[in-house]
Structure 1
Amino acid sequence: MSKYGLRDKRFSENEVQLKKVSINGNICGEFVEFSMAQVYENKAENNIDAVYIFPLPDTAVLTGFEAILGGKSLRAIVEDKEDSYKIYENALESGINIISIDQDEDNIFTISIGSILPNETVKINITYMDQLLYEDSSFKLMIPSIIAPQSMEEEEVNKAKPEYKLSLNLLVESFNKLDIYSPTHGIHVHREDDTLCKVSFKEGQMLHKDFVLMMKETKNEEYSGMIYNYNNLDEEEGVLYLRLYPKLDYEEGHQTQNYDFLIDISDSMEGDQLEEAKNAVHLCLRNLDEGDNFNIIAFSEEVKVFSKEGKVPYNDENLEKASEWIDDLKVEPGANVFETLKYALQEKNREGNSTILLFTDDMVEEEDEIIDYVKEHINDNRIFPFGVDTAVNSYFINKMAEIGYGRPEFIYAGERIDDMVLRQFNRITNPQVDVISIDWGAMKVQRTYPRTIDYLYDREPISIFAKVSGEIGGKVTIKGKVGQEDYIKTIDLDKLDLDVNADLIEKVWARKRIESLTEKMRGERGEVRESMRKKVIELSKDYGIISKETSFVMLEEMEEPVLGMAISNIIPIQISEEAMENISEGYFLDSPSFFYKVDIREKMVEEGMDKEKAKKAIIYDRENLLRIIAKNQLADGAFCNKKEENHTKRLESTLISILAFTLGKEDVKIYMNQINKSLRYVLKSIEDNEGILNEKITHLVILALRSSIEKKLVRQPSRSIIEDHIDKLKNIIKENKYMDIQYISNSDRNIDLRDSTTFMLSLNEEKNIKEEFLINFKEGQNILDIAKLAIQKTL
């Protein structure tokens, strides 16, 4: 578990005592900045050469570090990476002390802070800026636990009593009213009004375990906003922060689409990367509809094609053949991206042009030649390239998206390829706003982030920041198209409760600009790139936000008793390039509030877990069970075993699979297309098969339909159709005098749906699905039991 703590780097026994911990911070909308101040005392009779251990959460950025001891303070400041290296070189030549930062594990760092004298205290203050995770309409903040330096015997004794003072002062400024609670600690919530409150700890709380704060939105506004005002010389300035949550209930008839999936099987993709890329294609195929056509091209040095005759129609037969073909893919030497793109752009389509998805981690040596060819032959095709791993040629990926009328996606360490690809594929296939213009009204807008917005995606939150001179108010109008229909959204700023007290909004804006410029640098070279790099350095230094172009140095300040004045020194930091990059890459650029994190493989390295246990942990993790179910959907929308021919069993398996997706707390919008396809299958099965609605099936249909609506996975007008079906099914229950279970009278709470499902499936008794019974399952079999096991894990 990631923890904070101070220890003597020379000895295993530690006589440093933690005296006090204070956590202070601000939450503004979906962003947070918090500081953790800790006071330690050396109880030993000798000096302690101390190091401080600190974790860095996956999405966080370190924005401050300070240590005060022995009449001096050490404070981290941001410096140009090249200048900091010169400072380091000069220090080596001059014999000046150098502070080191080491990376122990993926997100655990240690920093040397010097010698602590007997009975001396040291205060350490560390500050993070982060984007909150968003799950099931809730924002989630996690603050890692603290290692109180003591022996095991002392730890057991002190569990019964507080051994240090702990305080929390967290100001929460939200878009609308939040239900705030902690599943891990006792807290007080002091409310000023619906959008402003302070969170503090109840007396006697300790950080023996991670602190988790949950903030559930009581309503989901389509747009909301905040503003931070400040004075810059004689002119008032401000940063406007808008959060949009487009709800695009446009439902057009399905138009035939053509797809090419280009998958890199070069030897550099060996292992998890290839398996996840294969899963991504599996899942994309299951998001297609009848009438679509597709082909798959795998490339190493050789180009392999699923259908050499061209694209094939999407149906169960071709889906099964394609799935087997994908599963048989193995890594091979070489990566011929050029010939693969040529094949895809020249391939004869049954109708019109193609959407091409390219997955690669190749560095691409002949990039200019490929780019020129694609420019000439792209026509009305679109290319969506995915750069797998940070070593990928980002210039090529960006340029390929630019000339291919698509959007690039970079998949970083800690992100699942299949989840990220499916999110992007949903963007491609679902309704989206093609943004034509954003009118800021009478406001004097200096610049915005994002600088340009091409698309708004259905039910995907997006944050827009605008730096404004003068008064902020009036109306902001977004104009665009959803298909052939006009989209106009007017946001009346005067009706929003905009004012906030924290400068966090400006720092987030600066961080966004840094990340935006860093991203644009991937697609530029020469003077343009150098100009962007200088701007990144300027913003990093002005706002104290680390970036990939900057580094930390330590400012040492101490009082000179004779002269009666403070003396300052710059002390360099010795840190590896990899560790510095990890500290600076807290990546929330253009991030949806959903963060897809690889926590399954992390379970493999838990202490004491051998390979067999690790394998089971991966298989039976609930998120992985959902992937298995999704990967085994049939072309007509059914979730069931491939060879199942009994209509009732196919329907039951599909209904329980829908409940597996919809009853959990995870955000499952990446499966929205597949769930809606399965709902269409359910309604068609009921209409086409008289007598299929026995007592159990009828209840399961209501549960599946209702849970899909409550999970906000169904768009209008489909929602109205489904609600009409629910009413008809309730009448069938009354007419046939079927049992009356809880959900009929209590219609709105998700917990009632889980209780009702538990009752229907008898999952709390001897019929529980045992994980070990499924250890030898083959994908495509036992889908019903896998779905039941996934439901069990929600109860």
Structure 2
Amino acid sequence: MDEAFARAVDDGLKLTKRLVQPGGGALPPPRPHAAMERDDPAAGLLHLLPAAPMAYAVVVDPGAVDSPDVPSYQPHVYGRLDPPALIPLQMREVDLRVDCAAGCATAEVALRARWWVHCVTRSRACHCRIVVPMGHQGSILGAEVTVGKRSYNTHVIDVEDNSAVKIAMPESGGLLKQELFSLTIPQVGGGEDIFATIRWSQKLLYDNGQFSVEVPFCFPQFVNPLPKVFMKREKIQLTVNSGVSKEVLLQGASHPLKEKGRQGEKLSFLHESVVENWSTKDFIFPFTVYSGDLYGGILVQPSTLRDYDDRDMFCLFLLPGNNGIRKVFRKAIVYIIDTSGSMQGKPLESVKNAMSTTLSDLMQGDYFNIITFNDEVHSFSSRLEHVNEKTIENAIEWMNSNFVAQGGTDIMRPLSEAMALLSNSHDVLPQIYLVTDGSVDDERNICHTLKTQLMKSGPRSPRISTFGLGSYCNHYFLRMLASIGKGHYAAALDTGSIEGRMLQWFQKASSTIVSNISIDGIKHIQDFEVDSEYIPDISAKYPLSVSGRYHGKLPETLIAKGQLADMSEISIELKVQHIKDIPLDKVLAKQQMDLLTAKAWLMENKEIERKVVKLSIQNSLPSEYTRMVLLQTSLDKIDPAQQAKNKPTKQSSPDVLEPIQCFTICAANAKNLCVS
């Protein structure tokens, strides 16, 4: 996808040589990226991939390419482009708003932009494609676009409700790749403006006690209108809600922000100025919620009238602190690596590189073993090996010889062998890391069997963490297996992100500082339910956040209890906060939907599926059982007094939208698009 997209943009930029500046002369060609290798044509185009929200004219007929204001009277160009070229549109306005909820480790982002179709003559029209690179684990929340007298809005509908809308364009957008969203606006005239608002959520990054939000905001030079033609005003608004009454330390932002106010746990900042060029770097804002030790809280939000569940919502969060006084558990790890034929090439090579790095990071006192599986199972050793320089060196040599992709996929047998290897690891925390890109027929049976075995093992049962590669494995199976095993789930849908995401996953799963978390005092709370199967352990590398529902009234404080690496018990006081500023339903919706869908898959439960549908429609997030569509309405055909009534809203039902043309944007799939 990357190479094809970049080549289409390159073709589009070559076509812009036909355009004439208002003062005369052709527009200058874009400068190649200095870091790209000259002898690799494909690598030389990678700088053309979107690193910020972009809009492109989809050009099929090159003869339509001309300045809408200064016709160039060039000779007619014959032929059509297949595939079409993509010409990046010039941007006239941009306004970014970011709301960070530290307790939930999530940010809600809204970007408003105005693009100008500067490359198509006024007598012609073309489709225009908006592409949005969302941040870390980004999930689209919705989009609104206005072009002249037409407006477009995304809307989520039930896939089983065939009467809700009539689909006119089955392929108008969706996820181009993980965290890259696209939608197409049909037949935009040359010289017209495109006004768009795109909203998404993304996870905050966390490292050594420091949060940071990183929003793709690096615009190429060729989207800047000429200074004499248009003044460029850039605006960034940021709010940070720490969720706790602790000092927030600012670490320095990528853009010049001014603090506008502090109110309780909420801080607000603003950057607004006229700029010569649009931002050439991502928006990054790092901050630390200062604490000398583990701390946490419980955020509570009452249910709403449109909520699928009449119980109140809560988010329980525990943060590891930033002074490093808590010791990490000594561990015994069995790595289970899929070496079936589909892992051939870059996937298996990336896994081997990540494995070599994580083995080198193991500490003295840890134990490990490696199992590869396809139609057969092979082990590095017949027992758990002590971590030392020699065994790590031998393990890396063994991987170089035995990581060979061939055969099919058999997951249960290596899991059983790993459980047997870890059955006698009494003085360390036993862990299983499963990496696979495939699916098998007995996945539900695997979950049920392991759940029974883990319950028999008690508090010192092995933690099972899972990692899915690509779009063909059952990510709901892997998520459910990690939930049952009190472990961590992660995924990489494209080969380029495998190594980096695996290293983050290894570090998070192998840095346990508190295990066997329980919440004291909930026995008397009516219908208290946590969305995940069990509460995971606390990692030194990332905050723990779990959501759930309850009836009644929570006390002012609850106590979280757990076990430290020295086998002593720790108690953490969690203050209950009733919040208004953080939309918990929006912030937690993706996490809740994924967990509920995994449960529905495991239990084959239609009632849980309907809960997912209601949650999906309520929060405008596509799911396994819903699809997102783009709804078009002509504003000049609607009486102004009725526009507000007919405009798609969060509360709108599909039957209100009967006269509106619809375009499919995306339908989620259990084995690919619903990965976070």
Q: Does 1:33 align with 2:108?
A: yes
Corresponding pairs, count: 562
Residue 216 in 1 paired to residue 287 in 2? yes
Correspondence 1:426 to 2:497:
no
Amino acid paired to 2:273: E
Q: How far apart are 1:475 and its partner, in Å?
A: 0.9
Q: Distance in 2 between matches of 1:501 and 1:563?
A: 32
| SS of residue matched to 1:186 | coil
Distance change (3 Å), C-alpha of 1:53 and 1:13: farther
Q: What SS does structure 1 have at the residue aligned with 2:172?
A: strand
Q: Which of 51, 67, 92 is the aligned partner of 1:2?
A: 51
Letter in 1 for 2:53: Y
Structure-2 change in CA distance of 1:208 and 1:371 (3 Å): closer
Would you say 1:409 and 2:485 are equivalent positions? no
Query: 2:333 aligned with 1:262, yes or no?
Result: no
1:299 aligns with 2:373: yes
The CA deviation at 1:303 is: 3.4
Letter in 2 for 1:391: Y
- Structure 1 match to 2:624: 548
Partner Cα separation in structure 2 for residue 285 and residue 321 of structure 1: 11
Structure 1 residues 294-443: aligned runs within 5 Å: 294-307=368-381, 310-329=383-402, 330-337=404-411, 339-341=413-415, 344=418, 356-365=432-441, 380=457, 382=462, 384=464, 386-389=466-469, 390-394=471-475, 397=478, 407=487, 409-413=489-493, 414-416=497-499, 418-420=502-504, 422-423=506-507, 425-427=509-511, 430-439=512-521
Pairwise CA distance, 1:360: 3.3
- The separation in 2 between residues aligned to 1:260 and 1:7, in whole angstroms, is 48
Of 213, 219, 240, which aligns to 1:140? 213
The question of 1:485 aligning with 2:485 is answered: no
Write the distance in 2 (CA, Å) between the matches of 1:471 and 1:374.
36
Q: Deviations over 1:392-440 (max 9, x none)?
A: 345765676688x56363433234364155225514xx44231233435
Residues 56 and 373 of structure 1: CA distance in aligned 2, closer, same or farther (over 3 Å): closer
Matches of 2:238 and 2:141 in 1, distance apart?
Answer: 17
Shift of 1:245: 1.4
Corresponding residue number in structure 1 for 2:76: none
Partner of 1:457: 539
Preserved contact between residue 465 and residue 489 of structure 2 (Cα < 8 Å): yes
1:535: Cα distance to partner?
1.0
Contact 2:53 2:133 in 1 (8 A): no
CA offsets per residue over residues 652-682 of structure 1, 9 Å max, x none? xxxxxxxxxxxxxxxxxxxxxxxxxxxxxxx
Q: Structure 1 CA distance, aligned partners of 2:390 and 2:444?
A: 40
Measure, in 1, the Cα distance between the counterparts of 2:181 and 2:476: 31
Q: Spell out the pairing of 1:698-713 with structure 2 (5 A cutoff).
A: none
1:591 maps to which residue? none
Question: Is 1:207 aligned to residue 207 of structure 2?
Answer: no
In 1, are the aligned partners of 2:612 and 2:623 still within 8 Å (CA)?
A: yes
- Equivalent in 129, 144, 165 of residue 233 of structure 2: 165
| 1:244, distance to aligned residue in structure 2 (A) | 1.4
Tell whether the 8 Å contact from 2:249 to 2:290 is kept in structure 1 after alignment: no
Q: Which one has a larger percent helix, Structure 1 or Structure 2?
A: 1
Counterpart pick for 1:535 among 608, 611, 616: 611
Q: 1:550 to 1:317 in 2, by over 3 A?
A: same
Range with bigger deviation, 183-192 or 236-245? 236-245
CA distance in 1, matches of 2:446, 2:524: 45
Pairing 1:188–2:237 present: no
The DSSP-based 3-state class of the residue aligned with 1:506 is: helix
Rounded Cα–Cα distance in structure 2 between residues aligned with 1:289 and 1:3: 40
* Alignment match, 2:19: none
Question: How much has 1:164 moved relative to structure 2?
Answer: 3.2
SS in 2 for 1:409: strand
List per-residue Cα deviations over 1:167-197 (Å, max 9, x = no partner). 3333333344445576543332212346433
Q: Deviations over 1:290-326 (max 9, x none)?
A: 6666544333334334345x45555444443333222
Question: Is 2:134 aligned against 1:48?
Answer: no
Change (3 A) 1:212 1:161: farther
What residue is the counterpart of 2:137 in the other structure? 59
SS of 2:351's equivalent in the other structure is: helix
Whole-angstrom distance in 1 between the partners of 2:272 and 2:462? 56
Relative to structure 1, the CA distance from residue 147 to residue 324 in structure 2 (aligned partners, 3 Å threshold; closer, same or farther) is closer
- Give 1:351 deviation, angstroms: 7.3
Change (3 A) 1:262 1:464: closer
2:641 paired with 1:571: no
**For residues 333 and 53 of structure 1, do their structure 2 counterparts lie closer, same or farther at Cα, with a shift above 3 Å needed?**
same
**Unaligned stretches of 5+ residues in structure 2:** 1-49, 69-88, 647-656
CA distance in 2, matches of 1:350, 1:510: 40
Q: Identity over aligned residues, as a percent?
A: 17
> 1:448, 1:465 within 8 Å by CA — same for their partners in 2?
yes
Residue type at the aligned position of 2:585: E
- Partners of 1:396 and 1:183 in 2: CA distance: 39
SS of corresponding position for 1:203: strand
2-side partners of 1:571 and 1:82: how far apart? 19
SS in 1 for 2:273: coil
Verify the 8 A CA contact 2:232 2:278 in the aligned structure 1. Answer: no
SS at match of 2:274: coil
2:199 aligned residue: 127
1:360-759 map, 5 Å: 360-365=436-441, 380=457, 382=462, 384=464, 386-389=466-469, 390-394=471-475, 397=478, 407=487, 409-413=489-493, 414-416=497-499, 418-420=502-504, 422-423=506-507, 425-427=509-511, 430-439=512-521, 447-450=529-532, 452-458=534-540, 460-465=542-547, 467=549, 474-482=556-564, 484-493=567-576, 499-502=579-582, 504-522=583-601, 524-526=602-604, 528=605, 530-557=606-633, 558-560=635-637, 565-566=642-643, 568=657, 569-575=659-665, 585=674, 587=676
Measured at CA, do residues 6 and 315 of structure 1 come closer, stay the same or move farther in structure 2, by a change above 3 Å? closer
Residues in 2 aligned to 1:342 and 1:240: alpha-carbon distance in whole angstroms = 36
Deviations 1:426-457 (A, max 9, x none): 14xx4423123343598777654446425333
The amino acid across from 1:462 in the alignment is L
Please report how far the alpha carbon of residue 139 of structure 1 lies from its aligned counterpart in structure 2 after TM superposition: 1.6
C-alpha separation in 1, matches of 2:480 and 2:58: 48
The structural deviation recorded for 1:517 is 0.9
Whether the 8 Å contact between 2:519 and 2:558 is mirrored in structure 1 is no
Alpha-carbon shift at residue 31 of structure 1 (Å): 2.6
CA separation of 1:352 and 1:424: change in aligned 2, threshold 3 A: same
Deviation at 1:61, TM superposition (A): 1.6
Cα distance in 2 between the residues matched to 1:38 and 1:444: 46
Deviation at 1:339, TM superposition (A): 4.9
Deviations 1:239-275 (CA, angstroms, capped at 9, x unpaired): 54443114695669x98x7654433322222233323
> What TM-score comes out, normalization by structure 2 length?
0.69
Higher mean displacement: 558-567 or 324-333: 558-567
Deviations 1:755-795 (A, max 9, x none): xxxxxxxxxxxxxxxxxxxxxxxxxxxxxxxxxxxxxxxxx
Give distance in 2, aligned partners of 1:234 and 1:37.
27
1:110/1:337 CA distance change after superposition, 3 Å: closer
Determine which of 147, 152, 162 is the counterpart of 1:74: 152
Q: In structure 2, give the amino acid aligned to 1:321.
A: N
CA distance in 1, matches of 2:151, 2:482: 49
- Residue 546 of structure 1 and its aligned partner are, at CA, apart by 2.5
What do you get for the CA RMSD once the two structures are aligned?
4.5
